[in-house]
């Protein structure tokens, strides 16, 4: 890190639950600042994986999470669940309650990595700021809104120290669980033209994962950032998906064409391709301008350097080229 998060912060131990790209980026940022970090996930790291080995910890296991949080100053939820509304409705409230109970039991600060699904009603406000109304139009969004209520109530009623770091759709090295990869870059890696599930010419913000990790670490360590939500730093102005995907196509040697998948096709195919049905309820985010404002964060951390889109996309493309050679 090149910003102030490299300087020594308050002594403490950091437990990160979720060893995906955001969890790993946050761990990297904290370790660069000399902090004691334990990175965990439901399944242990693959042998030979690029990230440091980490033990398994299931956030659905209340006793295990509480035990793991003993002696911890900061507890981070950066995990993801299978992209199915029914799974989110069943498991996310349990995970959040387990995390709240564990943090309260040991006096830890609870840091949650969130997205914009809880924002609504439609159309979304442009730009989106932290004071956006919470009135989600989707089942997944209603789950996220419930989790936010749980945090606030635990803070008001039981004194939980919490904060939320909220991201736009994200991109970056090794990012595969994202709309930009699954709809577009995966096809480009196969030498095919990209699809976009929505309007490819509407502005659409993307948060760079390594920026998100550095920022989450900064927010967690700062004494004045709690009991509120923060938009993680995101480059501006927002590009269009077409602009970004033409850049990735040139980097990957793929066709620069970007096809728009008609919404009706998503509806027709969803009975035979269930994932399309899950994505379908979120397509509203791609049908309008999706502009994410992180000026609140930048006012608090003015020295933070946000990665430009061209640099971030080059790093993302290089990570896939390196994986193909491995």
- Residue 301: inside a domain: yes
- Residue 24: inside a domain: yes
- Residue 72: inside a domain: yes
Query: The CATH number of the domain where 82 resides is what?
Result: 3.40.50.720
pLDDT tens for each residue of 288-309: 999 999 999 999 999 999 999 9
Give the other-Cβ count within 10 Å of 320's Cβ.
21
**Of 146-155, 174-183, 275-284, which one has max mean pLDDT?**
146-155
Residue 43 has what pLDDT?
Answer: 84
- Residue 1: inside a domain: no
Number of domains within the chain: 1
Indicate the pLDDT class of residue 55, thresholds 50, 70 and 90. confident
- Residue 248: inside a domain: no
Average pLDDT score over residue span 54-62: 93
Alpha-carbon gap, residue 239 to 261, rounded angstroms:
19
Question: What pTM did the predictor assign?
Answer: 0.92
- Residue 147: inside a domain: yes
Residue 69 has what pLDDT?
Answer: 98
Average pLDDT score over residue span 62-91: 97
- Residue 88: inside a domain: yes
Alpha-carbon gap, residue 107 to 225, rounded angstroms:
17
Report the candidate in 117, 203, 211 with the shortest Cα–Cα distance to residue 170.
211
Residue 47 has what pLDDT?
Answer: 43
Alpha-carbon gap, residue 64 to 68, rounded angstroms:
6
Q: Which domain holds residue 134?
A: 10-120+128-168+206-236+293-306
Residue 290 has what pLDDT?
Answer: 98
Q: What's the start-to-end Cα distance of the chain, in Å?
A: 27
- Residue 93: inside a domain: yes
Average pLDDT taken over every residue of the chain:
91
Average pLDDT score over residue span 131-148: 98
């Amino acid at each position: 890190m090149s910003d102030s998060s490299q300087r020594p912060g308050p002594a403490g131990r950091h437990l990160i639950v979720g060893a995906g790209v955001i969890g790993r980026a946050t761990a990297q940022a904290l370790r660069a600042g000399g902090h004691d970090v334990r990175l965990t996930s439901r399944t242990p790291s693959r042998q030979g994986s690029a990230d440091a080995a980490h033990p398994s910890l299931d956030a659905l296991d209340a006793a295990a999470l509480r035990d793991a949080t003993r002696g911890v100053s900061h507890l981070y939820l950066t995990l993801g669940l299978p992209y199915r509304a029914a799974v989110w409705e069943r498991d996310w409230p349990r995970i959040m309650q387990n995390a709240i109970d564990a943090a309260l039991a040991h006096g830890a600060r609870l840091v949650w990595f969130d997205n914009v699904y809880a924002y609504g009603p439609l159309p979304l406000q442009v730009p989106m700021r932290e004071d956006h109304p919470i009135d989600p139009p989707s089942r997944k969004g209603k789950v996220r809104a419930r989790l936010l209520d749980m945090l606030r109530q635990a803070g008001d009623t039981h004194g939980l120290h919490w904060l939320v770091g909220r991201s736009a759709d994200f991109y970056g090295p090794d990012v595969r669980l994202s709309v930009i990869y699954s709809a577009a870059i995966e096809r480009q890696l196969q030498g095919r033209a990209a699809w976009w599930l929505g309007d490819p010419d509407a502005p659409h913000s993307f948060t760079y994962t390594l920026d998100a990790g550095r920022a989450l670490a900064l927010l967690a360590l700062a004494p004045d950032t709690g009991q509120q939500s923060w938009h993680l730093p995101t480059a501006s102005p927002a590009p269009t998906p077409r602009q970004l995907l033409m850049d990735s196509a040139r980097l990957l040697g793929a066709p620069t064409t970007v096809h728009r998948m008609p919404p009706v096709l998503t509806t027709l195919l969803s009975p035979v391709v269930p994932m399309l049905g899950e994505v379908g309820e979120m397509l509203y985010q791609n049908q309008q301008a999706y502009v994410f404002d992180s000026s609140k964060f930048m006012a608090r951390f003015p020295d933070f350097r946000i990665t430009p889109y061209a640099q971030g996309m080059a790093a993302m493309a290089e990570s896939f080229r390196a994986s193909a050679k491995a």
